[in-house]
């Protein structure tokens, strides 16, 4: 490696009620993938945003190639050669891909744009249609446009903040390869993630943040247990816990018969799917993203029309019922994108709960919230701040708590742990197991291990069709992976 590219010395950042970064010192070398790892709310995004000129630090020094700098805006950051891609693509939806790419880009830099587009397309295996409006792109394509856009300024440091969260597994592994290649030419990546395995797979060095402080920096080859211990401190626990003995099954909760559901462009995304779920069950539906899971979930809760087939809930045909009616009958829903579909970012925790539970008795809501926070810790400066200041993981926890508090009979949860660090994910899985004791759960997850660890039965979705459900004893990782791509 070729010496230090970026150095932070005693950088602190305070938000009302929370010290997000507490005298952070770290170095990013030239030509390294440096992972910044920490649980939800550890201060990772804050650090990334300080380097990208979104926030000014309250204290401390930042050096680029040994020279002290101030980074008052993202524009300054880019001039210094620092670019950032986040979990949420920051694009203008009504403009085309090309218009987005050249927006704000100096003429001198446009020449290289085609080369960058070609390179990224090739590495990730995705073609980009430059004339398409951005709103018509998939999440993966939008994320790719963001990546190209940030690469267009020829950065020496690329900050990637939880960029893989919503990517399908195959694209994710290609992105890892892209990142490793990217740093071969004297450029560096600060790879922000809450996933330990991801950090260990991709990084030359890993810095662990806990509650705003650097607790350790490791070289490649460190064992996962040491990292876990550093990340979670005294909340470190052993493994994922074991399955409880199979619970006795009760009454039928949901029956889905020959269900066909159309996608956004009128194509059949769910093709004649049938399954049922009883009290006491967790049905885990796994598969590669984009194989109809989202459309199926939306049809179950009533957000998407059913083209053919029938949904019966607690013995009643609800196929044509609107979501509100299904919810009042006892369905709960945690969507993939909670910020878009489940919570209001302008409202605080209590207001969000009030909306869901239909009561404005805030003292009672506070009590309910406290009782769940005991099970799933949420880090907020206060439950009275608008949710927009919270990290994605904490938003996801609040969306889950809101549904739990409704005491729903059937909880439909889409990738409920993907934004969560291991300890929080573990808590959420336990909570889902508890829901199944008084009702049923359908969990959509792209994580095969999670499906196997959580599901009492497991189904695989592939091109709109469902394989299974299988009992846990009938299936293993290899068989699931075969069904996912067959």
Ligand X SMILES: Nc1ncnc2c1ncn2[C@@H]1O[C@H](COP(=O)(O)OP(=O)(O)O)[C@@H](O)[C@H]1O
List interacting residues with Mg ion (CB under 5 A).
Answer: 44-45, 391
Residue 99, CB half-sphere, CA atoms under 13 Å: how many?
11
Name the DSSP letter for residue 454: H
Identify what 381 binds: Mg ion, ligand X, none; CB under 5 to 8 Å per kind: ligand X
Q: Tokens 């439950």 label which residue?
A: 383
Identify what 98 binds: Mg ion, ligand X, none; CB under 5 to 8 Å per kind: none
Identify what 383 binds: Mg ion, ligand X, none; CB under 5 to 8 Å per kind: none
Least distance from Mg ion to the Cβ atom of residue 406, Å: 27
Least distance from ligand X to the Cβ atom of residue 381, Å: 6
Least distance from ligand X to the Cβ atom of residue 162, Å: 7
Identify what 389 binds: Mg ion, ligand X, none; CB under 5 to 8 Å per kind: ligand X
Which positions ≥6 away from 261 have C-beta within 8 Å? 268, 269, 270, 292, 295, 296, 298, 299, 304, 305, 306, 307
Residue 17, CB half-sphere, CA atoms under 13 Å: how many?
9
- Rounded Cα gap, residues 346 and 43, in angstroms: 21
What b/e string do you get for 335-351 counting C-beta neighbours within 10 Å, with b at 16 or more? Answer: bbbbbeebbeeeebbbb
| 292: β partners | none
Among 294, 259, 293, smallest CA distance to 276 is for 259
Q: How far is CA 53 from CA 69, 76, 83, in A?
A: 11, 7, 10
Q: Which lies closer to ligand X via its Cβ, residue 126 or residue 389? A: 389
Identify what 43 binds: Mg ion, ligand X, none; CB under 5 to 8 Å per kind: ligand X
Identify what 240 binds: ligand X, Mg ion, none; CB under 5 to 8 Å per kind: none
Name the DSSP letter for residue 90: -
Q: Which lies closer to ligand X via its Cβ, residue 54 or residue 307? A: 54
- Rounded Cα gap, residues 334 and 283, in angstroms: 15
Identify what 352 binds: ligand X, Mg ion, none; CB under 5 to 8 Å per kind: none
Q: Which lies closer to Mg ion via its Cβ, residue 24 or residue 408? A: 24
Identify what 15 binds: Mg ion, ligand X, none; CB under 5 to 8 Å per kind: ligand X
Least distance from Mg ion to the Cβ atom of residue 395, Å: 11
Strand order in the sheet with 410-414: 331-334, 410-414, 440-445, 282-286, 457-462, 465-471
Least distance from ligand X to the Cβ atom of residue 379, Å: 5
Q: Which residues bind ligand X (CB under 6 A)?
A: 15, 18, 20, 38, 40-46, 379, 381, 389-391, 393
- Rounded Cα gap, residues 272 and 259, in angstroms: 4
Q: Which lies closer to Mg ion via its Cβ, residue 194 or residue 356? A: 194
* Cis, bond preceding 463 (omega within 30 deg of 0): no
| 24: β partners | 11
Identify what 207 binds: Mg ion, ligand X, none; CB under 5 to 8 Å per kind: none
In sequence order, what DSSP letters do the residues of 320-342 get, joined into one string? Answer: T--HHHHHHTTEEEE-S-HHHHT
Q: Which lies closer to ligand X via its Cβ, residue 45 or residue 291? A: 45
Tell me whether strands 252-262 and 268-278 are parallel, antiparallel or unpaired.
Answer: antiparallel
Q: Which lies closer to Mg ion via its Cβ, residue 89 or residue 469? A: 89
Q: Nearest-CB residue to Mg ion?
A: 45
Q: Which lies closer to ligand X via its Cβ, residue 220 or residue 388? A: 388
| Greatest alpha-carbon span in the chain | 70
Name the DSSP letter for residue 248: P
- Rounded Cα gap, residues 257 and 311, in angstroms: 6
Q: Which lies closer to Mg ion via its Cβ, residue 22 or residue 351? A: 22
The residue count for the chain? 486
In sequence order, what DSSP letters do the residues of 434-478 get, joined into one string? Answer: HHHHHSEEEEEES-HHHHHHH-SEEEEEETTEEEEEEEGGG--HH
Least distance from ligand X to the Cβ atom of residue 43, Å: 4
Tell me whether strands 59-64 and 67-69 are parallel, antiparallel or unpaired.
Answer: antiparallel
Q: Which lies closer to Mg ion via its Cβ, residue 280 or residue 392? A: 392
Identify what 176 binds: ligand X, Mg ion, none; CB under 5 to 8 Å per kind: none
Least distance from ligand X to the Cβ atom of residue 316, Å: 41
Least distance from ligand X to the Cβ atom of residue 385, Å: 7
What b/e string do you get for 186-223 counting C-beta neighbours within 10 Å, with b at 16 or more? Answer: ebbbbbbbbbbebbbebbbbbbbbbbbebbbbbeeebe
Q: Which lies closer to Mg ion via its Cβ, residue 325 or residue 388? A: 388
Least distance from Mg ion to the Cβ atom of residue 297, Å: 25
Least distance from Mg ion to the Cβ atom of residue 393, Å: 7
Q: Which lies closer to ligand X via its Cβ, residue 402 or residue 457? A: 402
Least distance from ligand X to the Cβ atom of residue 384, Å: 12
Identify what 38 binds: Mg ion, ligand X, none; CB under 5 to 8 Å per kind: ligand X
């Amino acid at each position: 490696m070729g010496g230090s590219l970026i150095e932070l010395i005693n950088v602190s950042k305070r938000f009302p009620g929370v010290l997000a970064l507490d005298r952070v010192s770290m170095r990013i070398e030239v030509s390294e993938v440096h992972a910044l790892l920490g649980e939800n709310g550890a201060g990772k995004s804050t650090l990334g945003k300080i380097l990208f000129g979104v926030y000014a630090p309250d204290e401390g020094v930042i050096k680029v190639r040994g020279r002290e700098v101030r980074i008052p805006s993202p524009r300054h950051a880019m001039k210094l050669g620092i670019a950032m891609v986040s979990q949420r693509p920051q694009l203008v939806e009504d403009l085309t891909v090309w218009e987005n790419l050249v927006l704000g880009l100096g003429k001198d830099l446009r020449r290289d744009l085609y080369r960058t587009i070609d390179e990224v397309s090739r590495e990730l295996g995705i073609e980009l249609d430059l004339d398409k409006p951005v709103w018509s792109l998939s999440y993966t394509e939008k994320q790719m446009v963001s990546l190209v856009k940030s690469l267009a300024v020829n950065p020496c440091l690329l900050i990637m903040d939880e960029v893989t969260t919503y990517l399908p597994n195959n694209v994710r592994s290609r992105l890892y390869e892209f990142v490793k290649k990217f740093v071969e030419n004297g450029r560096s990546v600060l790879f922000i993630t809450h996933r330990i395995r991801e950090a260990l797979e991709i990084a030359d060095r890993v810095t662990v943040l806990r509650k705003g402080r650097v607790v350790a920096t490791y070289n490649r080859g460190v064992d996962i247990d040491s990292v876990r211990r550093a990340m979670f401190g005294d909340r470190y626990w052993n493994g994922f816990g074991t399955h409880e003995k199979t619970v006795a099954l009760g009454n039928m909760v949901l029956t889905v018969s020959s269900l066909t559901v159309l996608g956004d462009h009128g194509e059949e995304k769910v093709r004649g799917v049938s399954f049922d779920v009883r009290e006491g069950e967790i049905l885990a539906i796994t598969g590669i993203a984009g194989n109809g899971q989202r459309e199926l979930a939306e049809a179950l809760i009533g957000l998407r029309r059913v083209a053919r087939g029938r949904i019966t809930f607690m013995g009643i045909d609800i196929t044509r019922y609107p979501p509100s009616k299904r919810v009042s009958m006892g369905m709960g829903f945690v969507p993939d994108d909670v910020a878009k579909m489940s919570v209001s970012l302008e409202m605080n925790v209590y207001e969000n709960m009030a909306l869901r539970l239909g009561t404005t008795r805030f003292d009672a809501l506070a009590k309910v919230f406290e009782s769940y926070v005991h099970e799933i810790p949420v880090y907020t400066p206060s439950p009275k701040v608008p949710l927009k200041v919270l990290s994605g993981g904490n938003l996801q926890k609040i969306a889950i708590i809101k549904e739990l508090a409704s005491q729903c009979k059937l909880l439909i949860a889409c990738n409920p742990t993907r934004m969560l660090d291991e300890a929080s994910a573990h808590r959420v899985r336990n909570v889902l197991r508890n829901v199944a004791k008084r009702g049923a759960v359908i969990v959509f997850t792209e994580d095969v291990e999670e499906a196997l660890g959580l599901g009492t039965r497991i189904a695989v979705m592939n091109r709109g069709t469902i394989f299974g459900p299988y009992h846990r004893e009938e299936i293993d990782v290899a068989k699931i992976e075969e069904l996912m791509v067959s």
